[in-house]
Every structure is written in C-alpha cells, then in structure tokens.
C-alpha cells in the first residue's frame, strides 16, 4: 500500500514544475520530500491526491492509478495541504465532525487512531479553528486528515509556521502513526526534520537530486567541512569566496561552512589569509556534514 511515481512531469504553460520524477514509497514507510520553496512539492502532492493530472507519466497510490481510479484513491488517502485547510468559523469539534461526515464515518468509529492527538486539543474543542495557535491548528488538521482511517497520509509542509516544541511533538506523532500501518509522504523545507524520515528525496527545480536514507546521504558527503566565524560575517564570506582553494562557502547559522579543494588543508594558513583581509576573532574548526550540506553540494 505504498506510492509509485513513474516519469511524472507537470507543466504550467512555460513553467516546468516537475520534470520526469520517479520514486517508490514502500508500505508503512515515512518518506520525506525535502526541498526549498518552488521545488515542486505541492504540485506532486496535488497529483498524488488526484487534484491535478500529470502532463506525462503515471503514478499509483495504494495500488490505484491516480488518473483512472481517482475516486477510489480519495477514500484511501488523507491529505493535509500546506495552506490551512480547515473552516475558520467552525470549532475544533465541528471541523472534525464535518470531515468525518463527508467521508461517511463518525468520530467514534475511528477515535482510536486520532485519540493521542485529539486529547491534546480537546480542552479547546469549542474554540473556532481560526482562533487556535499554529501548533493546535496543525493537530486539528492532522486529526481531520486521519478521521477516515486512510492507508496513505500526505502532509505538505505540516510544520511550517509552527513553534519548535510543537514541531518536535509533531514528528513523534508521525512516528506513532507509522506504527499503525500508515504510509506517510511528508514534505518540509526544514533540513533538520529530514533526519526523522526513513528515506528522503532531495528535490529542486522540479527534479529529484537524490534519494536515500538520511544517514547514507550524510555519510556519502565527499568533503571535510569547517565551521568558520569572525568579527564580520559579510567580509568573511567575501574573503573566503576569493580564497583560491575554496570549494564551497555558504552561511550556516552563526558560522560559514567551508570546504577546500586540496586534500591537505592548513587551518593556520587560512587564518593568516583571513587576518590579512582585516578580519579578527577568527574561529575555524572541523565539523560534521548535515543533510543541508548534502543538499547544497547536490544543488551546485
């Protein structure tokens, strides 16, 4: 009951939103689509949830073709779109009852599946959805996407606009759902969340750059990375970009991530070069590659 995407492309007139995308999601897998805004994630979700037709290629969800069996698929999948999809004027309880009704079920019938999530928002069940915090809206949207017990769950950027604590809680909830035999495809622009997935596809400009487990992606990173900081971030980046042996230079939180073209690299020589470029308080230390580094390397 997984997902199969075979050579799917989607054009919006001149815009090539998806270009010959292929991948498989195994039954009960938690699979992540990781990529920046505009990469094509939402377009792919819309195709897989039967809201858009691919321009070319085929795809199936839970063994059903997305074009020929679109009605059957709609009963088998749960979809939490990126934009808040609930009725703002309806309360938590009313939204949930509404989604249960349109899928011909009741809250009681499938309460087991949503119980762990619903108990967290139940104290506010009479509050209109429009007056909830980001984290509570997200939990309600997830309950609504699950109320008909879908086999496959699609979550488009579920943690965007949500506070860090709720983001972490959300991934714990997904792990629990996975154990209840649900296949999950989730997209996120946050590279740190990728580590929570079984496998991830890195996607940019409508193309898949690579598919692998998060651990294997990081292990394959070919270079040694250094965290570098100094008194002036802008001048530091400019100076590193002008360094003749630089392989890659990009801001990474409070540091610049730097890799060198040579096998033998001298921290002292680089420090002297930066000091000669009027920089002070220079800190250089080797660090571990992350998914974001892998993405930057593949997207070059």
Ligand X SMILES: Nc1ncnc2c1ncn2[C@@H]1O[C@H](COP(=O)(O)OP(=O)(O)OP(=O)(O)O)[C@@H](O)[C@H]1O
Name the site residues for ligand X (rule: CB under 6 A).
12, 15, 17, 35, 37-43, 82
Residues 66 and 52: beta-carbon distance below 8 Å: no
Residue 119 beta carbon to ligand X: minimum distance, rounded to whole angstroms: 31
Closer residue to ligand X, CB minimum distance, 17 or 240: 17
**In this structure, what token pair is assigned to residue 128?**
């209109």
Residues 209 and 299: beta-carbon distance below 8 Å: yes
Residue 34 beta carbon to ligand X: minimum distance, rounded to whole angstroms: 10
Residue 124 beta carbon to ligand X: minimum distance, rounded to whole angstroms: 28
Closer residue to ligand X, CB minimum distance, 56 or 261: 56
**In this structure, what token pair is assigned to residue 269?**
């020589």
Nearest Cα residue to 217 out of 190, 196, 199, 193: 199
DSSP 224: -
Closer residue to ligand X, CB minimum distance, 114 or 291: 291
Burial (CB < 10 A; 0-12, 13-18, 19+), residue 180, is exposed
Closer residue to ligand X, CB minimum distance, 2 or 40: 40
Q: Is the dihedral of CA 270, 272, 278, 284 positive or negative?
A: positive
Closer residue to ligand X, CB minimum distance, 17 or 96: 17
Residue 276 beta carbon to ligand X: minimum distance, rounded to whole angstroms: 42
Residue 294 beta carbon to ligand X: minimum distance, rounded to whole angstroms: 18
Q: Are strands 15-25 and 30-34 parallel, antiparallel or unpaired?
A: unpaired
């Amino acid at each position: 009951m997984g997902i199969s995407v075979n050579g799917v492309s989607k054009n919006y007139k001149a815009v090539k939103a998806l270009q010959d995308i292929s991948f498989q999601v195994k039954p009960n897998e938690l699979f992540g689509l990781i990529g920046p805004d505009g990469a094509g994630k939402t377009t792919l979700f819309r195709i897989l949830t039967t809201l858009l037709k691919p321009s070319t290629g085929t795809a199936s969800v839970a063994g059903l073709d997305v074009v020929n069996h679109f009605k059957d698929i709609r009963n088998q999948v749960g979809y939490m779109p990126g934009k808040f999809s609930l009725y703002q004027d309806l309360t938590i309880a009313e939204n949930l009852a509404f989604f249960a009704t349109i899928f011909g079920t009741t809250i009681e019938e499938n309460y087991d599946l949503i119980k762990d999530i619903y108990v967290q928002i139940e104290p506010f069940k009479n509050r209109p959805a429009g007056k909830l915090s980001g984290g509570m809206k997200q939990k309600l949207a997830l309950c609504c996407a699950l109320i008909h017990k879908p086999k496959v769950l699609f979550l488009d950027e579920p943690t965007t606009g949500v506070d860090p604590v709720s983001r972490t809680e959300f991934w714990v909830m997904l792990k629990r759902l996975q154990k209840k035999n649900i296949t999950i495809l989730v997209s996120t622009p946050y590279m740190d969340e990728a580590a929570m997935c079984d496998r991830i596809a890195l996607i940019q400009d409508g193309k898949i750059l690579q598919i692998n487990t998060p651990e294997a992606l990081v292990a394959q990173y070919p270079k040694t990375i250094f965290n570098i900081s100094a008194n002036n971030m802008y001048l530091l980046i400019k100076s590193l970009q002008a360094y003749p042996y630089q392989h890659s230079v990009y801001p990474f939180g409070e540091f610049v991530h730097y890799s060198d073209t040579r096998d033998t690299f001298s921290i002292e020589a680089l420090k002297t070069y930066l000091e000669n470029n009027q920089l002070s308080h220079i800190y250089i230390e080797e660090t571990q590659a992350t998914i974001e580094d892998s993405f930057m390397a593949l997207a070059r």
